[in-house]
Amino acid sequence: MGRRRRRFCVKCGALEAPDNPIVDGLCLKCLTEERPLFEVKSKRKLVVCPVCSSYLVDNSWVKGTGDVEETIRMLAHRMVEEGLRPVPPAEGAELLSVEVVRRRGGKYFAEVTAEVIVKGAKTVQTLTVPLDVEKKPCPKCLMKSGKDYDAVLQIRSESGRVTLEELRTAGELFAKAGSGEDVVELVDQKNGLDVLLVSKEVAKRAAQLMRFNMGAKIIESYSVVGMRKDGKVRTRLTISVRLPKLKGGEGLLFFGEPAIFEGFNKGKFSLYLLHSDKELKLPTDEWWQLRKSGKIKYLDEVYLKVGTVESENPLKVNVGGEVVEAEGPPDLELGEEVYVIEYKGKVYALPKEPR
């Protein structure tokens, strides 16, 4: 038998070799130049908000990277990665890079580079894939542009005014619940602050965080504000966030018993009952139920005698010229004004001002 003649490329004349197979009369290099050896099967529309960079997945908007062009690049890379397929005679294709370019007229293209395998030999090919990109404002940004909103957080306090410290804490908790993009407007009120939001979900998360971390009483209500495009009723959520006015060290009455409010932590109010000589922790909801029923009263809500500390050890209080022995917290100071309470045959002195 005679030797098998080596085939050659009809275009460039290159001889066939293990790393340079001849396919349909073309060597690997010419084959790569002449025809596509891979394709991107998934060519879905990329819908991106030009304001906040969020993008549409099915019927839901997902937070983007914060930069519109970067979000488009991310989505294009994801789409190419998921849809890359070899085209015969290629047997396999592996993505190497995706570069998104924007050409005249605002159209987007992806320069896709992949390594393909043809008859066991590898080659690299770059193809230009058109991208179907639509820049469309998301519902949140549409609402914000029209000063429209779906939820209101009404931050108030039992004291009648919200302090700067409370607003700062509420702001930190709100940052954990969502992003500034959800805020349409901040409206100062005489007795607090209204936060107008495009998202009911963010409003609910923020309120629950204030309930757990600040002891706030939460009341939700809905009102009808019109009809949506799909014909369904559109509602607006109003959440009343009422903050407790007590500060650590202040006195109160718990079922009539003198007590000291020690603070609030992780969803619970801490009290020290003076007569029972024990500490008590109350969940937020139980606290507000007892407040509503009058079982917990603040000292400025009841008529009490006022005296002055005359002696620290033993504790003695001057009440209208009469000096009486009393029990109370150990940090009362000489000359300090205190509330004087008689309970089960004993006299108790509670601080008039927060410690």
For residues 336 and 269, membership in a common domain is answered with yes
CATH code (residue 286): 2.40.50.140
Residues 6+ apart with CB under 8 A from 190: none
What would the pLDDT profile of 225-277 be if each residue is shown by its tens digit?
Answer: 777 777 788 888 999 999 999 888 899 999 999 999 999 999 999 999 999 99
For residues 89 and 158, membership in a common domain is answered with no
Q: What is the mean pLDDT of residues 293-310?
A: 93
For residues 185 and 216, membership in a common domain is answered with yes
Predicted confidence at residue 1, as pLDDT, reads: 44
pTM for this entry: 0.63
19 within a domain of the structure (yes/no):
no
For residues 255 and 239, membership in a common domain is answered with no
Parent domain of 169: 140-243
Query: Using CA atoms, how far apart are residues 129 and 99, in angstroms rounded to an integer?
Result: 10
For residues 272 and 334, membership in a common domain is answered with yes
201 within a domain of the structure (yes/no):
yes
By C-alpha distance, which of 190, 196, 246, 236 is closest to 216? 246
**Rg of the chain, C-alpha, whole Å:** 36
Q: Hey, which bits of 45-177 come out as E strands?
A: 46-48, 55-57, 60-62, 84-86, 92-102, 108-118, 121-131, 133-135, 151-157
Point out the domain boundary residue: 86, 116, 135: 135
Point out the domain boundary residue: 243, 264, 292: 243
262 within a domain of the structure (yes/no):
yes
Query: Using CA atoms, how far apart are residues 298 and 100, in angstroms rounded to an integer?
Result: 65
185 within a domain of the structure (yes/no):
yes
Q: How many domains does the chain have?
A: 3
Main-chain dihedrals φ then ψ at residue 74, nearest 5 degrees = -60, -45
1 within a domain of the structure (yes/no):
no
Main-chain dihedrals φ then ψ at residue 72, nearest 5 degrees = -60, -40
For residues 48 and 118, membership in a common domain is answered with yes
Q: What is the mean pLDDT of residues 290-308?
A: 93
Point out the domain boundary residue: 113, 135, 157: 135
For residues 316 and 341, membership in a common domain is answered with yes
For residues 131 and 144, membership in a common domain is answered with no
Work out the angle between the directed axes of helices 164-177 and 200-214 (0-180°, nearest 10): 130
Q: Would you give the DSSP letter of residue 2?
A: P
By C-alpha distance, which of 342, 303, 308, 334 is closest to 322? 308
User: Is the pLDDT reported for residue 3 higher than 60?
Assistant: no
Could you tell me where the DSSP H helices lie in the chain?
28-34, 68-83, 139-145, 164-177, 200-214, 284-293
22 within a domain of the structure (yes/no):
no
